[in-house]
Each structure stands twice: as C-alpha cells, then as structure tokens.
A and B are shown apart, each in its own frame.
Chain A
C-alpha cells in the first residue's frame, strides 16, 4: 500500500464543482481516497493551483504517420534534443518529438492522458508499440474508418447493424478506442488521386456519400454503446468557404446520447473559413459558434494555429497534397489499403502572412465565442496547428485580452478586416481553462467513469500542481506568469506517484492503454461471417488471422467492455 497526501492545494475540479478551494487530497494505491494514515508521504502544495492531470483529446504522437514525420525530418529532430539523464532517455525533435520526448514534455506540462488522433487499423500494431514507449501518459487510439470498404458496402446496402458489427469487430481486433472519420469518403477517392468536395459527393465505386457515412457511423456508434462519440475531421479541410460544409455536417447530427455529445468535431479552426479563394479567405467562426451554441450534441476542439515551424500530418491524403502544392517543400503520402490514407508536410506559419494570421485568429475566436466551455476543447491538433508545447501560450491568449491585442498588433495588418477577434473582449477564467484542458476532454471521451478528468473519491490520482497562486495572479495582467506556470508543473502525479518534478521525470513510468471491446452476439460477429472473411483474405495483403493486435502489445491496459445493441 502506498499513500500520499497533498496539503494546501488550491483545487479546481470542474466535474466535482470545486473552484479554487484550499484543500488536502488523499491518495492510496493510485486512487483518490477520503483520507490516508499518518505515515503517508506528504507534498505541501502551498496554495498552488492544483487540477486533475491534463488530457489531450486530439493529438498525433504515436504510429506510422507520426513516425514517418520524424523519419523524413532530421532537421526537426535536431531542433529539440536532450541527453540521457537519470530516468530520462535521450530525446530528439521539436514538432514531432521521439516518443520519450513527447512523453516527458507532456508530463512536464501536467498532462497525464492523451488520445492519438488517427490510427489506421492495418497499422495498429505500430501505434501500440509506440504507446509502450510513451510511458508517462495513459493512451488511447482513434481508429480510422473513413474509407473502410466493408463499412461503405454495408452503408450502401442500408445495413446499419452490419456497419456496427464490422466497427465493433475492428475496434476490438486492433485495440482501438473510438471511431475516427477523416475526410470520410475522400481518402478512398484519393486512392485514385481524387477527393470529395462536399458531403453530398458520391465516393467512386462505393456509391455512398460522406453524409451517409457520417450519419451511419453516428448510429452505429450508439448501437455499440461506445464511451466516446464519432470523432470527425470534416470534409474540405483547409479550403476557403469550407464553413458551409462544416455547418451542413453539423446539421446531420442527432442528439442521441444524454451522457455526452453525439459528434466530436476536431480541429474546427481548419473548417471555419469563408471566402472563395486564398485572396478573400475570412473567418466564419461566428456562424460556426452560433451552430455549436445551439447544438449541445456537438463538442469541438479548437485546432489552434500558432506561429512558427511545425509539421502537418493527417489521414487526409488529398488535403496534404493540396497543401504541398502551396508550400513546395517536401511531401509524403501513405495510402492504406481498404481503410484510409495519410499525408505529411512540414509547414511554417508566418505571422506576416495574411492567411496564417486569419487561421491564428479563428482558433481563438472559436474558444471565445463558444458559450459553454464544455463544448470547446483546447488543442492544436498537435502538431498540425502547433506543437503541444505551445498550449501555455494559448491559455494566456484566452485569459488576457491585453496579451491577445499585443500579439494582434504583430500579425498581418489586413487581418482585422477579415476576422472578428479584435472585437471580442471575453477573457476566460481559471475554471474555464480547467474545463477545456481536462474536464471537458474526459467527459467528451467518455472516460470520467473510469476515473479520468476529476479528483473525486475513486478517481485515478492523476494530478497537476502548477507553480501559481490564482488569488495573487491576475491572468489578464500577467500573461507571462500564466505561460511560465502552465509550461512546467511543480509536480505531475500519475497514478499516485510523482512522475515529474519541475521538468525532471522521476520514474521510468508505465502507462495504461485504454481500449474498447463491444460485446457482439455470435450471429453478428465477423468471426463467424464467411463472406467477410472471404473478402478480407481476397482484398487485403494480410491474412485475417494475422490482422488482430496480439495481447503481447498491451502491457498494462484497461478494456472498456460495452454491450452492443444489435
């Protein structure tokens, strides 16, 4: 039995409605408990801001595409390197750090859980291998279904139960966590060098539309009782005028689940553009947020862009090729048979460039115009909008109008004619930041019940103590203090152990992989479906028996079993 007592913590824990109370937190064997004995190890927080460990609800950190981003970018690897020290292995990389680099840097910022945004099922083993070397965060994987052949065939046949059965089988086979759709239908079209340009376009050969895929998957998701909702990267990412596609997509979403949203729309900044070309692109954040404010069934994340160098990587292969034709630097693409695609290019977001400045403004506007912070999660689509190490600066931008104005002065002078940002006076509160970085991600991902995102009794003792006294610091006036504090915790505690102290990781660590296993009756299981097996072995270049991710790839893991209603 190990016990820990954190004294004098200034706690913000939105799920339990605690906001700035000075209290003690007791921990036994990795869980929050009512009280501990006198022999417990004691940490005196001295009134510092204490919150549940941060949760990144959408980040690209592990797997085939991420590793290719490293592989093709020695210049990025050189841009961030540290030597082996104590429990810390050597690290490399700035925008796409090595797995240890990612893990240590997140941990220093108080993050203890992360969702990998896109895992191709065929390459799931790779993602799980990298999870094992990301030791200080619990990990889960969004599983890509945007161009899944058997799924599209079942949608075409109007057989939603079969859609659910295929999704359930696949999630369980690849130890995935949730359904991810990236440019649904577009990645299959990209197999022929084409794309879809609206949610009503027909996917070549499969004769289904993105709208049909999205609607069917939302329905299947609820049939499977999955903890998270469908996680959608909308069609037409990055195209001027795409906000209309985004709004049309939002209109497809029913309100079907009383515990959480029915759709998670990711990196919405990239989907909130007005105009018809790069010449007249403008912000449509107001229209997007009006829709979000009216639709509690949708939660989004910002997809904030920050100026500087980064690497873009997504399953959206055609989008990356379009981006490449703008940037002309280097381009990688990796289409995955029967499932999805992917592309990677390095980018530089330049504050002197009008389009980049507009992108920067839109992300902030989304957060400031969304009434309910539970509906707008703080994320950069790491590393697409910016590397996650920029989160503290984003927090400061959201909390300080003065700081925001200061940066606004430095961007392209025409930006103000194209975005409403300068007119927004809202400054987010400590509680709202806590919601956007831990409570809302936990609720949206459906992992509150397994003890994530809060500090109530029975919760996982994942805790971040920041060197900041919220009663003494006015974030509107001292943004630099906010940036400093959120950049490095005094203590990051994972499963009841101090894993990182003022930037130094103290343990080798051992994370938990969280995955789902929907229980599907035998007569619906793909394991007993001769047609599915026959087509699998005919069309894939891997045998169906060799496809599932073996138990060996899951060390410590938590399987969320659900009961499918088929």
Chain B
C-alpha cells in the first residue's frame, strides 16, 4: 500500500510529498525522498527494549523500570539537564518544559550548538524573513552562504529555490541567479551561477564590504576582501539591487565560524540595507527536522528559545552560562536526560566525559554515540514514521508529521507523559 503526502522527519525542509510503500506494517520503499529520507525511513537498527548498563555490558529492562530510573534520577538531581528535543515532536517538547520546571532544571536543545548564534543576532537586530513559498514563487536572486544544501538539505533547491517552479517566473531555473558563498567549492557551489570563495574566517569582512557598497561607499573597499576581489563584490551588489526579490540562506558555515553571532548580525543588516532598495529576506538553514519547533515551544512556554534555567523558579536565560555545553563543561550538571539528539557525536570531549560520569538517560529509537555514555536507554517510536505530532519547518510553518506504520513501542509523548505523571505524584501535585 502506498501512503501519499508523507512528511519527512529528517531535516528542516520537512518535505511533505513523500510516498511510502508499506506492507504488513513494514516500510518497503520511499518515493520522492532524498537519500537522507530514504535512509531514515528504511533504517533497521532500532532497539526493541529499554536497556540498562551493567558491569561490562547491557541488560534488557522493562519500560516501568526504565521510567522509574529516570524519574528517580531527575527528582534526586540538584542540577538536572534535559537536552536534545530537536528530533522529537512539539507535544513531547511541551511535556519536557513542564518536567524541567517541576525539577528546577535546565532545558536546552541542539540550537545551542547550531543556530544559537543566529538567535542571538536576531535578538539584537530582528529577522526580516518569509515562508519558503515566497522564495519559490518570487525570488530571482538566491544566495546560499556557508551552507551546502545539495548535501545537507538535498531537496531545498528543487522544492524551494533553484529548480522549483515559481508563479512569477516564466522559466524559474533560467530566471533565477544563484550565488554560493563558501570557503571551499562544495557540490552546491558547482551548480551556482556565481561562486564567491572566502578565506576561512573572512565572512564578517565580506559582509561589511557588501554593506558599504550598498550604501554607496564602495570606494573605501580595498581591491580584495578576505580573498574576494572588489569587482566581484560590486557585481553581487548590483545583482542584489537589481533583483525583484532576493533571498539569503545561511548555515553553520556562518554561525560557527570566526565572528559567530556577529556574522549573522552583519548578514541581517545587509538584508535590512537591501530592503531599502528592493525586496530581500534571510532564512537560517535549520538542520534537525524539528529544531525550530523546540525554539517555538520553549518560547511560548518559557519566553526564551533555548538554554533555559529554572533553578530559581523563574525562567532564566543566558546562553554561555545556561546552555548545555557550559553546564557540562563546568561539571555543574549532575544528571542528564537526552532525547532526540546525539550529543555524544557532537559535543566537546570534556562535556562527553562528564556525561559518562553522571547518571544519563537516553530516549532514542536507535543506538547512537551517546548510548556509550548512557546508564539507561529507552527506545521509542520514531516521530514521523510510527508516531505523529507537530513539527516546525525552518521558516516557521507548522506541520503534523504522520504515522505510516503502527507503532510497537510507545511514543516520546507517552514515555514523557508517564514520567511527568510520576514526578507530579512524587511531589504531591
């Protein structure tokens, strides 16, 4: 049986036109998906039962024991961290916030190691953005800066930009100019109309030069800025000013390089400057399929998009102090629950070592690098495959990811809901 218009729970594109072939509650094929989608839907490495670390190995335990372990761990902790959230649906994230509030812990999502700097910049200067359909239907200039969609968001260009049909463009592919700015010639750079190669760490200077040229102060720009010739910068500014609708997309190549949030601020201010001449927008290329959802949920419930500390009862936010990396690196954290992410594969060694030293529970359908640091792992249904719930696309559009097969394991919402009920009971609420 074919299931149509299925939403892919892999990256921030949330492509919603997949066709999944299902027989006997097994997925046999994926149509319209990219290789990443294919791998996710066809993945077979799932755990079937909660596991607990023993001396030198693992033992199967039941859900009741695993949940009890987690509840006891969180209630006993002085400085618990509830981390991850980008790989689960919004309903589970909501329960997570309530749990965190109850135990006075810290809740943080993968944002603090990806687009956290983008949010800091937005909090300083705002964010002129739009939904992806605006870009698809109108944009005649598209700039990818510090990102490589062909490999990280493989259908971004075919659904929303370069190769997508656009209502206001006769021949969208020919009528759109694509610029790629990067430190190396990526796959995406090879298909661009214009490739701007920047010396590592030179983004801020190049953005400043572009802003100066837009403001008519090009004569103060030296012949070359971070390896980019002035003539190319001038050409790009002309292209932007002549555009009817320009769209900038940026990735971790801009947020996590030298300059960090200052780079994003500069990019936003360039878009702001261009908005005085024509229509221009900017959008972060969010990675995890629902990382933006974690920011949305945390914001309406606590006031802040990530790195929220409830230790004094109120919601307190100070990334750099209250973000996951920092609380682990300072060895303040004394218990950690991880859901929907794999910090073991991404965090600095010092943080990972601390995770191994403290009680850690991982809620994840498959064994990951983080499993190696965990005391208990609780497998769950995969959101978007055998569990449903809300996800927010990189541009803020909410979708309801679907269930294409019947679950054999509880969902994140069920596991967390059970934990929260027990925590409230223990607290006499």
Residues of chain A within 8 A of B197, CB atoms compared: none
Smallest CB gap from B305: residue in A: A71
* Residue contact A333 to B303, C-beta cutoff 8 Å: no
- The complex places the Cα of A344 from the Cα of B279 at a distance, in Å, of 17
Assuming the contacts A123-B396, A125-B390, A546-B5, asked whether A92 and B130 have C-beta atoms less than 8 A apart, the reply is no
Contact A90 B310 (CB under 8 A): yes
Confirm or deny: B399 has a beta carbon within 8 angstroms of a beta carbon on chain A: yes
* Alpha-carbon distance between A73 and B126 when the two chains are bound, in angstroms: 9
Is A98 a contact of B5 with CB atoms below 8 Å? no
Q: Determine if A565 is an interface residue (Cβ-Cβ < 8 Å).
A: no
Contact of A71 among B7, B130, B299 (CB under 8 A): B299
Interface presence of B313 (CB below 8 A)? yes
- Which of B134-142, B185-193, B362-370 binds A? B134-142
Q: Is B232 an interface residue (CB 8 A)?
A: no
Contact call A92/B303, Cβ cutoff below 8 A: yes
Asked if residues B299 and A67 are in contact (CB atoms below 8 Å), the reply is yes
Cβ of B108 under 8 Å from chain A: no
Asked if A71 and B4 sit within 8 Å, CB to CB, the answer is no
Q: Is the CB of A92 within 8 A of B128?
A: no
Q: Inside 8 A of A70's CB, which chain B residues have their CB?
A: 299-300, 303
**B125 proximity list for chain A (CB < 8 A):** 330-331
Contact B123 A84 (CB under 8 A): no
Closest to A344 in B: B126
B101 adjacent to A133 (CB under 8 Å): no
A64, A192, A338: the one contacting B396 at CB < 8 Å is A64
Cβ–Cβ contact A332 & B127, under 8 A? yes
B123 touches A337 (CB 8 A): no
Task: Report if A74-B16 is in contact (Cβ < 8 Å); known contacts: A334-B396, A541-B131.
Answer: no
B-facing mask of A84-117, CB < 8 A → 1, else 0? 1000011111000111110000000000000000
A480 to chain B, nearest CB (A): 29
Chain A residues with CB under 8 A of B127: 68, 72, 332-334
Stretch at the interface among B38-46, B160-168, B253-261, B340-348: B160-168
A86 to chain B, nearest CB (A): 9
Closest A residue to B319 by beta carbon equals: A74
Q: How far is the CA of A97 from the CA of B90 in the complex (A)?
A: 20
B168 to chain A: closest residue by CB: A205
Contact of A98 (CB < 8 Å), options: B122, B280, B302? B302
Interchain CA distance A371-B60 in the complex, whole Å:
76
Q: Would B300 and A77 count as touching, CB distance under 8 A?
A: no
Contact with B along A253-283 (1 / 0, CB 8 A): 0000000000000000000000000000000
Chain A, interface residues (CB within 8 Å), range = 35 or more
Q: Which of A72, A126, A331, A334 contacts B123 (CB 8 A)?
A: A72
Q: Which residues of B contact A423 (CB under 8 A)?
A: none
A543 within 8 A of B: yes
B16 engages A543 (CB within 8 Å): yes
Interface residues on B, range: 35 or more
Is A422's beta carbon under 8 Å from chain B?
Answer: no
Residues of B within 8 A of A193 (CB): 275, 278-280
Contact with A along B217-230 (1 / 0, CB 8 A): 00000000000000
Q: How far is the CA of A566 from the CA of B70 in the complex (A)?
A: 58
In the complex, the answer to whether A331 meets B302 with C-beta atoms within 8 Å is no
| CB proximity of B181 to chain A, nearest CB, Å | 22
Contacts of A123 in B (CB 8 A): 396-398
**Other-chain contact of B138, A192, A321, A324 (Cβ < 8 Å):** A192
Q: How far is the CA of A95 from the CA of B390 in the complex (A)?
A: 27
Q: Which residues of A contact B315 (CB under 8 A)?
A: 77, 81, 90, 92, 98
Nearest neighbor of A325 in chain B, beta-carbon distance: B276
* Nearest-neighbor residue (CB-CB) of B129 within chain A: A334
Cβ of A324: which chain B residues have Cβ within 8 Å of it? Answer: 126
Residue numbers in B under 8 Å from A83 (CB-CB): 312-314
Residue pair B314, A545 in contact (C-beta under 8 Å): no
The CA-CA distance from A331 to B304 in the complex, in Å, is 18
* Residues of chain A within 8 A of B34, CB atoms compared: none
Within 8 A of B (CB), among A513-556: 538-543, 545-546, 550, 552
| Residues of chain A with a CB closer than 8 A to B7's CB | 546
Q: Does A129 contact B (CB under 8 A)?
A: yes
Within 8 A of A (CB), among B85-99: 90, 94, 98
Q: Could you say which of B17, B94, B133, B392 has the most chain A C-beta atoms within 10 Å of its C-beta?
A: B133
Q: Which residues of B contact A101 (CB under 8 A)?
A: 303
Complexed CA–CA distance, A17 and B312 (Å): 50
Tell whether, in the assembled complex, residue B126 and residue A542 are in contact, meaning their CB atoms are under 8 Å apart: no
CB atoms of A90 and B313 under 8 A apart: yes
A192 touches B304 (CB 8 A): no
Contact at B133–A540, with CB atoms within 8 Å?
Answer: yes
In the complex, whether A354 has a CB less than 8 A from a CB of chain B is no
Instruction: Using known A-B contacts A337-B133, A540-B133, determine if residue A192 contacts B244 with beta carbons closer than 8 Å.
Output: yes
The answer to the question of B124 belonging to the interface, with a C-beta cut-off of 8 Å to chain A, is: yes
* B398, A125: Cβ atoms closer than 8 Å: yes
A101 to B299, CA, bound (A): 12
Chain A proximity of B195: nearest CB distance (Å): 27
Residues of B within 8 A of A192 (CB): 138, 244-245, 279
Contact with A92, one of B4, B133, B244, B304 (Cβ below 8 angstroms):
B304
Residues of B within 8 A of A330 (CB): 124-126
Q: In whole angstroms, how far apart are the Cα atoms of A90 and B314 in the complex?
A: 6
Return A30 CB to nearest CB of chain B, in Å: 25
Q: What is the CA–CA distance of A545 and B402 in the complex, to the nearest angstrom?
A: 12
CA distance A191 to B168 in the complex (A): 11
B295 in the interface (beta carbon within 8 A): yes
**In the complex, A101→B314 CA distance in Å?**
12
With contacts A74-B304, A82-B314, A335-B281 known, is A542 near B399, CB below 8 A?
yes
Is the Cβ of B4 less than 8 Å from the Cβ of A332? no
Nearest residue, chain A, Cβ from B160: A541
Asked if A337 and B303 make an inter-chain contact with CB atoms under 8 angstroms apart, the answer reads no
Q: How far is the CA of A546 from the CA of B17 in the complex (A)?
A: 9
Least Cβ–Cβ distance between B190 and chain A, in angstroms: 25
Closest to A96 in B: B303
**Chain B CB within 8 A of A345 CB:** yes
Give the shortest distance, in Å, between A35 (CB) and chain B (any CB): 36
The chain A residue with its CB closest to the CB of B132 is A541
B119 within 8 A of A: yes
Using A74-B304, A193-B275, A545-B5 as known contacts, say yes or no to A550 and B400 having CB atoms under 8 A apart. Answer: yes
**Interface residue? B61 (CB, 8 A):** no
Does A122 have its Cβ within 8 Å of any Cβ on chain B?
A: yes
A310-358 contacts to B, CB under 8 A, are 321, 324-325, 330-338, 344-345
Do A93 and B303 have beta carbons less than 8 Å apart? yes
Are B128 and A333 within 8 A (Cβ)?
yes
- Residue contact B400 to A546, C-beta cutoff 8 Å: yes
Question: Whose C-beta in chain B lies nearest to the C-beta of A122?
Answer: B397
Contacts of A81 in B (CB 8 A): 303, 314-315
Most buried by B among A100, A333, A334: A333
Question: What residues on B are CB-neighbors of A100 within 8 Å?
Answer: 301
Say yes or no: is A432 at the interface (Cβ < 8 Å to chain B).
Answer: no
Q: A92-B314, A332-B126 are in contact. List 18 more A-B contacts (CB 8 A).
A: A67-B300, A71-B305, A72-B127, A74-B123, A74-B303, A84-B313, A98-B303, A99-B301, A129-B390, A129-B398, A191-B279, A192-B279, A324-B126, A330-B125, A331-B126, A333-B126, A335-B129, A542-B133
Q: Which A residues fall within an 8 A CB radius of B?
A: 62, 64, 67-68, 70-74, 77, 81-84, 89-93, 97-101, 122-123, 125-126, 129-130, 133, 191-193, 205, 321, 324-325, 330-338, 344-345, 538-543, 545-546, 550, 552
What are 22 A-B contacts with C-beta separation under 8 Å? Answer: A71-B119, A71-B122, A72-B122, A74-B303, A77-B303, A81-B303, A81-B314, A89-B101, A91-B303, A92-B303, A123-B396, A125-B399, A126-B296, A192-B279, A330-B125, A331-B126, A334-B131, A335-B134, A336-B130, A542-B397, A545-B4, A546-B7
Ranked nearest first, the 9 interchain pairs of A and B with the lowest CB-CB distance are A337-B133, A92-B303, A83-B313, A77-B303, A193-B279, A330-B126, A335-B130, A125-B398, A332-B126
Q: Interface on B for A, CB 8 Å cutoff?
A: 4-5, 7, 16-17, 90, 94, 98, 101-102, 119, 122-134, 136-138, 159-160, 165, 167-168, 244-245, 272, 275-276, 278-281, 295-296, 299-305, 310, 312-315, 317, 388, 390, 392, 396-400
